[in-house]
Amino acid sequence: MRWVVALVAVLGALPAGAVSLVTEVTGARPFTAISLMGELELVKDRTFLTGCFSSMRSAPLEITGPGTDPETIDIPRSNQLCLGLDHGFDDHWRVSVMGSLTPRVTSQVEMLPRPTLIFRSRSSGAGATLGVAYDSAGLEEVQWGADLGVAANGYGFSHDWISVLRTIHYQSSLYSLRPSAGVLVAVGDTVVQLRAGYTFYSQDPLTAGAVSDDELARMDAYFQRLMDASKYFGLNEQYASALEASNRLMATDALSGLATAPVQLELRPTLQHRFARWLKGQVGYTYDRYVPGAGYAHVASTKWTVAFGDHVQTWAAASAQVDVPGTVPPQLYGILTLGVEVTF
């Protein structure tokens, strides 16, 4: 909430101009999210200051294992703050820059109560984007536009195994560079658009910051020794604790490293049509190819926008996503987004 107050304060402290406020709420089985965006006109029809805040909460992590009751581990909420500037040089050319910050997120799991063993992970990030766009901006029936962009991001990861006697610390960084391009053609009230992007990573994003196989093997062997000793001496409570800790090892991998599947190639065609002054609809398809070893995804989406005069518009968007990891059966889930924009 502090980030929301800061965003409102920044926009409110600037000279008055046209202001747009946008709110979106998204829900899906794996996550829920809310985003707020404000746009302030600094120079009429030319320069705009944009600020945004988003917050996402992932579904609790479910852990099951032989000999223990199922349990869930809460995943902390992650937030992002961004600030950008958009400037039009004339009726054709525009340039935009934006910076973003993801504050540190800390997750913690108690692996063992006695002897005490705690797993703690931290992650944070920052990024910047630059875009250049051209619009034909003519009076002809057929209009067209194109844009080029590049986004650079950096992530910091760390995790610790904390016991009474010592703390074992691991730290890692990941950097990405994502060039993208888009082209659109408008014929009357119909707009066809195609976008593509490719992401380069400084190292394998599947392992950057994650708990390594060597760590998991050493910790699993340690818990196994505890179980063997507890079983030999008839210490049932200690045996159960060691067994639960062994099952919790899968949580350490989920709580470390990147929180989302790393996309490498993205292709997205869309078709939009305005049916009336107050109604327009859009359908789209997205192909996401993750980094090697992580599979790919297909996303079909639609979005419908209703305008209430010149100052208020609302929309509802729905999509169905099929993830094909390759190592496990495909997973299908839906995503629903509701949004509203108010212009003063």
Per-residue pLDDT, 313: 97
Per-residue pLDDT, 171: 93
Element (H, E) at 177: strand 167-187
3-state SS class at 88: strand
Strands 142-163 and 167-187: antiparallel
Element (H, E) at 245: helix 236-254
What average pLDDT is seen over the chain? 87
Tell me the average pLDDT across 179-191.
Answer: 96
Which tokens is 104 given? 């540190």
Q: What is the DSSP string of 247-288?
A: HHHHHHHHTSS-SS--EEEEEEEEEEEEEETTEEEEEEEEEE
Query: pLDDT, tens digit, for every residue of 252-270?
Result: 777 888 878 899 999 999 9
The residue with greater pLDDT, 229 or 136, is 136
Give the residues across from 102 on adjacent strands.
125
Strands 47-58 and 78-88: antiparallel
Per-residue pLDDT, 183: 98
pLDDT score of 234 more than 50: yes
- Domains of the chain (ranges, CATH numbers): 2-343 (2.40.160.40)
Which tokens is 329 given? 């059966």
The residue with greater pLDDT, 70 or 187, is 187
pLDDT score of 10 more than 70: no
Per-residue pLDDT, 14: 47
pLDDT score of 194 more than 90: yes
pLDDT score of 249 more than 70: yes
pLDDT score of 96 more than 90: yes
Query: pLDDT, tens digit, for every residue of 27-55?
Result: 998 899 999 999 999 999 899 999 999 99
| 193 and 272 Cβ atoms separated by less than 8 Å | yes
Task: Determine which of 193-197, 239-243, 280-284, 337-341 has the lowest per-residue pLDDT on average.
Answer: 239-243
CA atoms of 154 and 258, how far apart (whole Å): 11
Give the residues across from 334 on adjacent strands.
320
Tell me the average pLDDT across 12-40.
Answer: 85
CA atoms of 52 and 196, how far apart (whole Å): 24
Confidence of residue 169 (pLDDT cuts 50, 70, 90): very high
For residue 48, the tally of other CB atoms under 10 A from its CB is 21
Per-residue pLDDT, 287: 97
For residue 237, the tally of other CB atoms under 10 A from its CB is 10
CA atoms of 255 and 76, how far apart (whole Å): 10
Give the residues across from 247 on adjacent strands.
none
Alpha carbon distances (Å) from 278 to 307, 309, 315: 5, 8, 11
CA atoms of 56 and 338, how far apart (whole Å): 15
pLDDT score of 111 more than 90: no
| 174 and 209 Cβ atoms separated by less than 8 Å | yes
CB-count exposure of residue 219 (10 Å: 0-12, 13-18, 19+): buried
Per-residue pLDDT, 303: 98
Confidence of residue 235 (pLDDT cuts 50, 70, 90): low
pTM across the whole model = 0.86
What whole-number percentage of the chain has pLDDT above 90?
A: 60
Alpha carbon distances (Å) from 114 to 86, 132, 183, 216: 56, 58, 60, 20
